[in-house]
Chains A and B, each alone.
Chain A
Amino acid sequence: MSITVDIKELNERIQRESAFVDLISMEMNKVIVGQKHLIESLMISLLSNGHILLEGVPGLAKTLAITTLANTIDAKFSRIQFTPDLLPADLIGTMIYSQKKESFIVKKGPIFSNFILADEINRSPAKVQSALLEAMQERQVTIGEQSYKLDDPFMVLATQNPIEQEGTYPLPEAQLDRFMLKVIITYPKKEEEQLIVRQNLSKIFPFACSVLKTTDIIKARDVVKDVYIDEKIERYILDIVFATRFPQDYNLAKFTSMINYGGSPRASIYLAMAAKAFAFIKRRGYVIPEDVRAICHDVLRHRIGLTYEAEAENITTTDIVNEILNTVEVP
């Protein structure tokens, strides 16, 4: 069997360009025990130029994973602890009066970095969360009358805690939709936790070294864009997204009353982009249905709005995505 020339070339390019994936994984594994899915999701987000939201109970190394990833890349990194009294200006910057220059000058906020860790993003009110909207989508920030381009790569890595309700502000749908992936972090296995305990009791805590430059990421992103996605896979993606909007057309009439709104066109775009990035991580120059299925939950779980009826019956978006994947025909 012969693979067509372009795919063969692409495979070879991917083999060359994706070498850093192993390096990053290795560095991250020094600090983070287990959480393979989390590391893969961070890589996908990094390679697809998307933002990522991590959700998990406290103590599951959400913040540590993000800081470790930032450490592996030689780039500007800002950590913003979202608090109830945080203001948009604290995030994006403001105009301050310079007595020396006798005029207003721009004081840029911490958002002017390559990697932004928005820690516990749901602790700030909506006005602060909304300040991120322009930055996340347009990759620019407007202070006063002037718009400023953000550095490339620019990536928001946010964390939130699902169990605390008091003093938290749930992210609005428009904000959620801008996150490419929403990853749910679960507890580590028993053996993994034993390693975590040992690691924390040792005298020297491991540290991830910088192994990558921002230019390497931009270069890798170009290769990811070239990953071949067949028309059949595109149709499969669209079927999945449309099944979230019109479940009755896909023999899922039972979900009609459960789904308030389905995935937006961003869902289709991010599914395709994330599938390409996943294929890249797996060193493949083309996307297969397995890639789509692997990232489907992370892309769709925050894009499906549930009705009160679904909540009353304890139906989660994970259940709905599972059922969709079990119903939509694989090409």
Chain B
Amino acid sequence: MRKILLFCIVFFALKSIVFCQILTIEAKLDSNKFLIGDHVKLNLFVTKSKSAKINFPILPDSLAQGVEIVQRNKPDTISKNGDIIKLKQSYLITSFDSGNHTIPPLPFEFLHDTITDTVFTDSILFYVNTLKVDTASKKIYDIKAPFDEPFSLMEILGYVIWGLAGLILIILGIYIYRKFKKKEPLIKIPQKLADPPHIIALRELDALKEKKLWQNNHIKKYHTELTDIIRKYIEARFNIQALEMTSYEIIQALSNEKYISDKNISELRQTLIIADFVKFAKAQPLPDENDLSIRHAYQFVNETKPTEQIVLTTNNNSLEGEQKGGTNA
């Protein structure tokens, strides 16, 4: 029985020795004395056999009262020697409380074969120095106001772009509303400068002549178009609402125009009367009368169109064209 007990004691004692050889944990501070607010490195070292598994402790943000972790680094292998591996994990810590502080023992979970155990580091004592302030000789200042950020155009660029876009939309809206109200097109296409009334009338008379309407027995259409050309010309040339007037009213209105001769009025009256007979009384004028009507129309337009006078300007010896109302007759 004694032999068996001795064997067991020897066995467990040897096993402990083997463990000690393959696992070392250590916690070290760079400095055990530092100024308040300074950063100090806390290094955790683990030396273990390759097969052993170890979990580094998960440390809270505050290691102890007044001791804070500022930065955490991942565990890293720093050396390999055969079956032995050395690992390191470092933390950056600081403290804003002066005086003595203690980092408590840090737990490492250890697994070897089927054995799981927790191993602790030694606690570390350190001292945090404070700054000496001579309040007698130094003046105490008030808290400084926050510094203004330097102005940058980029900061307001977004607002400027959106503001401009909004302004353009408002102006566009007002423009569209006003155009809609006035019943005008949104975009005015510049119109070609219109020909003077006599040019239009002569062109239309030429076209009417070319159609040979009365020669093809379209006498009513011929006289209707002929009088329409004359009435449009009178409206544009003399600003008389000839299209809305009867033949009698047109002659009455033209009688007051000083630029029109009695002969022109008489011929125009004859043309309009013949046209009225054709249009409203189924009259059939003779071919000569049809031809005479258009000749009278040509004559009326040519003799009542604005005449172009050449005015000699003696000052600059240049010729100047001037349009004046009047007849060539």
Contacts and interface: CB of A to CB of B under 8 A. Distances in A.
B71 interface: no
A2 B280 CA distance: 13
Interface string B250-294: 000000000000000000000000101101111111100100000
A329 B250 CA distance: 13
A289 B281 contact: no
Contacts of B281: 3-4, 7, 228, 230, 284-286
Interface in B285-308: 285-286, 289
A1 B280 contact: no
B159 interface: no
Interface in A312-331: 325-331
A287 B279 CA distance: 10
A230 B279 contact: yes
B286 A1 contact: yes
A293 interface: yes
A2 B282 contact: no
Contacts of A290: 246, 248
A232 interface: yes
Contact of A326 (B241, B274, B279): B241
B244 A232 contact: no
A293 B280 contact: no
A220 interface: no
B54 interface: no
A287 B286 CA distance: 22
B63 interface: no
B273 to A, nearest CB: 9
A2 B246 contact: no
Given A3-B277, A288-B276, A326-B241, A293 B246 contact: yes
Nearest to A329: B243
B234 to A, nearest CB: 13
Given A326-B241, A329-B244, A1 B284 contact: yes
Nearest to A293: B246
B164 interface: no
Residue among B248, B274, B277, B282 with most chain A CB within 10 A:
B282
Given A1-B274, A326-B241, A7 B246 contact: no
B151 to A, nearest CB: 57
A226 B284 CA distance: 20
B245 interface: yes
Contacts of A3: 277, 281-284
Interface bracket on B: 10 to 19
A325 to B, nearest CB: 7
A145 to B, nearest CB: 49
A233 interface: yes
Interface string A76-118: 0000000000000000000000000000000000000000000
Contact of A232 (B246, B279, B283, B285): B279
Nearest to A11: B281
B277 A1 contact: yes
A228 B246 CA distance: 18
Contacts of B285: 1-2
Residue among A3, A7, A330 with most chain B CB within 10 A:
A330
Given A293-B246, A325-B244, A329-B244, A288 B282 contact: no
Contacts of B286: 1-2
A327 B244 contact: yes
B283 A4 contact: yes
A325 B246 CA distance: 10
B145 to A, nearest CB: 68
A228 B276 CA distance: 13
B295 to A, nearest CB: 16
A326 B243 CA distance: 9
Contacts of B243: 329-330
A330 B274 CA distance: 16
A210 B241 CA distance: 46
Contacts of A286: 280-282
A232 B280 CA distance: 8
Nearest to A284: B281
Contact of B283 (A1, A284, A293, A326): A1
Nearest to B250: A330
B294 to A, nearest CB: 15
Interface string B156-183: 0000000000000000000000000000
Contacts of A329: 243-244
A284 B273 CA distance: 14
Interface string A1-34: 1111011000000000000000000000000000
A289 B243 CA distance: 12
Contacts of B241: 326
A293 B282 CA distance: 21
Contacts of B244: 325-330
A297 to B, nearest CB: 15
Contacts of A328: 244
A2 B284 contact: yes
Nearest to B243: A329
Interface string B221-259: 000100000000000000001011110100000000000
A23 B197 CA distance: 50
A222 B286 CA distance: 32
B110 to A, nearest CB: 100
Contacts of A4: 281-284
Given A232-B280, A328-B244, 20 more contacts: A1-B274, A1-B277, A1-B283, A1-B284, A3-B282, A4-B284, A6-B282, A7-B282, A228-B280, A228-B282, A230-B280, A230-B282, A232-B279, A233-B280, A286-B282, A288-B246, A288-B276, A290-B248, A327-B244, A331-B279
Interface of A: 1-4, 6-7, 228, 230, 232-233, 284-290, 293, 325-331
6 contacts: A1-B283, A2-B286, A3-B281, A233-B280, A285-B281, A288-B276
A-B residue pairs, 4 tightest by C-beta: A286-B281, A1-B285, A4-B282, A289-B246
